[in-house]
Each structure stands twice: as structure tokens, then as C-alpha cells.
Amino acid sequence: MDDLESTYASLRAQITETETRLAALKRQLDSAEKTLAEKGTNETSAATSDGQQSPRKWPLLAEEYRRYGRQMIVPQIGLQGQLKLRSSSVLIVGAGGLGCPAAQYLAGAGVGTLGLVDGDVVEHSNLHRQVLHRTRNVGKLKVDSAIESLKELNPHPKYVAHRAHLTPEDAPEIFKNYDIILDCTDNPATRYLISDTAVLLGKPLVSASALRTEGQLMVLNNPPKPPGEKSGGPCYRCVFPKPPPADSVVSCADGGILGPVVGTMGVLQALEAIKVITGYGSADNTNGGLPASPSLHIFSAYSSPPFRTIRLRPRRANCAACSADATVSLESLRSGSTDYVLFCGSATAPSLLSPEERISAKELQKTFGDGTDGFENRGPCTVIDVRDNVQFDICSLDKSVNIPISKILSSAPQPTSHDGREQSGLPDWVPAEIATGSEGPIYVVCRQGNDSQVAVKKLKELGLDREGSRFIGDIRGGLRAWRDEVDPEFPDY
């Protein structure tokens, strides 16, 4: 055992030493790249004082011609398009599943300045889809991790890190320095904030979202006309005047996400940004392209065909952000009087049960451990797991029964009893062992302790609590609490 611990300590020390040397080499590389870029810039200046060196004949560096050559020979780009990309500045809000591929392709395309806004750190659960981040950067700020990778891809652009979550007070000051905005976030409140700020500052906005196997994409406020100008492109509020109910918003952590799906949407955001920057569809477009009408593009990975497009209406006459009677202003943003969290509703799930209707993970462990239920031994307990079948197959508690919350909420009571049950009118999903005369307690568990509360309410509505004589409650914090308080080896997905 001592030899194994010694070997482990030695390997960790070697890894630490190697990482230190690697960090030093990266700093040297950054310095060399900056020197090279400065040298290249100086080469484009006028002739030297002695008159022996003439001005540069070509607008790009020799290395840039080699790097972007395959792109510039595309008719829609050309040299002029490449010069527009080089002089452009793009802000990406969110350095996650959408922001990573978008940033990767914009940096590769030669965008002059690329800013990233994010206050989160890299987690292991990000790595399957957030392709700029690396395992070694777990715990590091996402913007720093992303910029580290982007510099390795292309040292020419200027990268700007905004190491915080976007707020109404800061958004105008950040946005004003960029030509186009990419919304790569995953919550409604931030989406409305980004759109409002883009409209007020006259910035085109490329917005995308992705969940499970589906994604959506829109180019908004394009052309970016002032509020009240009917010829301007619609904004996010024009498409979604009212936010969805807070309890209907599903995050990637709860609903799941397939990496290539969110990657597809992020790549499409980069493509749309390049089209806007190079003037595709604008009045001075020299490439012969027709102006594209505002559209909502819907991607479904498991449908055939996977893409469909819905044409969007023009700006709404009563839009709170882009109409002549707009109520959102830069002053209301900077002062904080526009409360986006209040507008969209709290994302925190309310507690539906009283403290007496909930038990801790440790209390459930005692029930499993000593064969008692803690409630006067009224009979064997039943543990109902209300996650969907896919999550239940990943991991589950011993002795638990899987009844997805979707089935609990969608089923209707049956008119007659089945299988000799004492109670009639119970749905088919109710297990026979709890529908009969058993008085054993029922514990409901889910992933984080939210759906389980809803299920408890439903079970009591069905009368399974025997008018209060049988305990029905949930596990506070769900399976996450079970892992934290009872079993550290329980899978964290």
C-alpha cells in the first residue's frame, strides 16, 4: 500500500512539473506570436526614412493569404469579404455548447476582434459538447479556457475576455464596442436582455438555442434600425412577446443535450455572422445575393428532413423594445429598473410540500439499512423514482420503482378497479402493492427534489395516503442529495 501511495505521489509531482513547464512554453509562444503579429503590422506601414523600403503592395500578410486562401476564393467572400472580417468585431455571450463552435469558426475565419462573455467555470459535464475546453481546464473560467484554445487555432484575432455573467447595468458598455452579437446563452431572462441591448445600440443579433435533439436559429434586428423604424429586422420580443412559464423552461442539465446538435447550431451562428459581416443581403451587396427575409430555422436531428424554416413577421407595432412606443431604454437598463428575472419569472422551483412531508437522504438510508420505516413500522416502504426511463436506466436506488412523472401527470383515473384492488378509479401506473391495503410509507425521489414534490401531491389527490394514515413524502434534494450525503459513488450525470 505504501509503494502504491509513493508511486501515486511521484506521478502527481511529475504531472505538476510538466504542466508548469508547458505553461511556461505557452507564455513564450504567446509572446513570440505577438512579436510576429506586430512585425507583420509594421511591414504594412509606409517606407522607412531612408526611402529604401516601399509600402506593402498587398493588404494582407503573406501568412494570412496562406491561412485564408481557401476561404477567399469562395465568390461570396473574396478579398473584400476577408478584409471586412479582419476589421470586424464580434461578441459571443456564452462560452458553452453554442459559443464554443461559433467562436472556433469565427476565429478560424479571421474575425479581427472576438469577445467572450461568461462567468462560469469548466465542469466535466461540459466536455462532451463544449469543444474548446479541455480536461486539464476543469475548474478554470470558461472564457479563459476558450481563449487559450482559440489562440492556438489562430493568433491573429484580438481576444477579449469578459469574466462575468451579463447584467443589464454592464450590457450597454460591453456591446457598444462590437459590430455584431451572438446569443449563445440558455435562459430566457438573458435572451431578452441581449436582444433589448442589441436593438438599443443598433447591433445585429444571431440567436440560437438547443435542447435534447433539437435546435432553433434566428438572425434578429437585421438590418439594425432604430426603434420605431419599420424597415428594421424584428427583435426577440417581436417573436416572443411573452416569456414561457418559468416552470416550463428545461435546461440542458435536466433535459439533456446531444453534442453534435448544439454544435450544429453554434456553427450555423458563425455562418450567419459571417454573412452579416460580409454584407450578404445588404443594400451594397456586390455578390448578387438576395436579401433574406427574417426566418426561424428549426433543426431536428431525428427528423427527415432535419431542417425546416418558418418566415417571421416584421417588427411588432407594439413591441416594448423596437417599436415607436418602446418602453425599454438604455437608461432603464443602466439603472436596473428593467427587471428581466421578474419579467421571466423565478427559475427557482417553489417548495410545494411542508417540512413534515419531506425527509432527508440519510433518513431514507436508515429505512433501507435497518428494515424499519421510521413511521411506526406500518409495513414495508415503497420508493417511487419519477425520472424518465432513460435516466432510471443510468442509475437508480435499490428497491425503487420507476414511474415517470410524465406518466403520472398525463394519465386519467380508470372507472373501475383492476386486479382485485380495494380502491377503484386508480390509474394503471399505480403499483398493486400500494393500491391494496398496505399501510407502508411511500417515498418519492427524482433527480433534484422538484418533480418528486409534484408527484407526492398527485398521489395524495388519488387518496393513497388513506386520509393521512399513510405517510407519503419526497426526498429533499433528490438523488443529488443521496450522492452528497449517503453514497459518493452514486453516478453524477
Q: Residues forming the annotated binding site for Zn(2+)?
A: 235, 238, 319, 322
Choose the catalytic residue: 100, 344, 381, 446: 446
Rounded to the nearest 5°, which phi and psi values hold at 287?
-95, 0
Q: Is 260 helix (H, G, I), strand (E, B) or coil?
A: helix
Whether 446 is catalytic: yes
Q: Is 416 helix (H, G, I), strand (E, B) or coil?
A: coil
Please give the Cα distance from 202 to 210 (Å, whole number): 26
Give the ranges where 395-467 is alpha helix by DSSP (H): 405-410, 432-435, 451-461
Q: CB–CB of 442/423 below 8 Å? A: no
| Residue closest to 267 by CA, chosen among 311, 299, 233 | 299
Query: Given the C-alpha cell 476543469, which residue does it identify?
Result: 138
Please give the Cα distance from 302 to 319 (Å, whole number): 35
Choose the catalytic residue: 252, 344, 381, 395: 252
Half-sphere exposure of 376 (CA within 13 A, CB side): 5
Please give the Cα distance from 128 to 470 (Å, whole number): 44
- Within 8 A by CB and 6+ apart from 452, the residues are 386, 444, 445, 446, 474, 475, 478
Catalytic residues: 252, 446
